[in-house]
Amino acid sequence: MAIQTKGFELSISVTDNGGNISTMSWECNTTNVTTFAEAQAARDALMADLAALTDSVITGNRLTEVQYEDNIVYPSAGVENENKLSMSYLISGTNEIGNLKVPAPKIGAFVAASGPSANVCNVGATIVTDYVANFGTGGDFFVSDGQSLGSLLRGKRVSAKNNNG
């Protein structure tokens, strides 16, 4: 198993005089664009051509490397993404409450392996606190709109609707 680069994708946002944003997205041609440096050059060229063609102003872009697993080994029976760990937390610096979900959580994230406590998040479990720390103040990721997690309040097992079968 290994993560492989599949290519690159570009999104460019333009804004009109009313503040309305339109975002366009494209996949790079993997025959012409094989490195991130080539993707950056292609982005710059497309943005220049777009700026010459539109009266809107370019207000943002996102260039991403698309990766995939080249040899998937599926988990054992009973591992289903519609079963989720739903954690409620305070958003740092506010009185607002947010929610963070994890699909197919490990049993170690819960208070017990069976019974009613198997549906209650163990907010002190290392696997929970390590994950949540990525989104906390000083963490490397925001949960939404530049906001960080404050204190984790509680969590529980939830099930989401799935029409896949």
Q: Is residue 29 part of a domain?
A: yes
pLDDT of residue 165: 58
88 and 146 both lie in a single domain? yes
pLDDT of residue 1: 62
Q: For residue 109, which of 154, 159, 162, 161 has the smallest C-alpha distance?
A: 154
89 and 64 both lie in a single domain? no
Say what the pTM is. 0.73
88: its two tokens:
């409620």
104 and 64 both lie in a single domain? no
Mean pLDDT of the chain: 91
Q: Is residue 132 part of a domain?
A: yes
Q: Is residue 7 part of a domain?
A: yes
Q: CB–CB of 97/89 below 8 Å? A: yes
Strand pairing of 3-15 and 21-27?
antiparallel
In total, how many domains does the chain have?
2
Q: Is residue 165 part of a domain?
A: no
60 and 93 both lie in a single domain? no
Low-confidence ranges of the chain (pLDDT < 70): 1, 162, 164-165
Beta bridge partners of 136: 149
Task: Give the rounded percent of residues in the chain with a pLDDT score beyond 70.
Answer: 97
Beta bridge partners of 100: 87
Q: Is residue 74 part of a domain?
A: no
72: its two tokens:
């998937």
Q: Is residue 47 part of a domain?
A: yes
Q: Is residue 76 part of a domain?
A: no
Give me the domain span that covers residue 151: 83-159
Q: Which of 38, 69, 100 is the last residue before a domain boundary?
A: 69
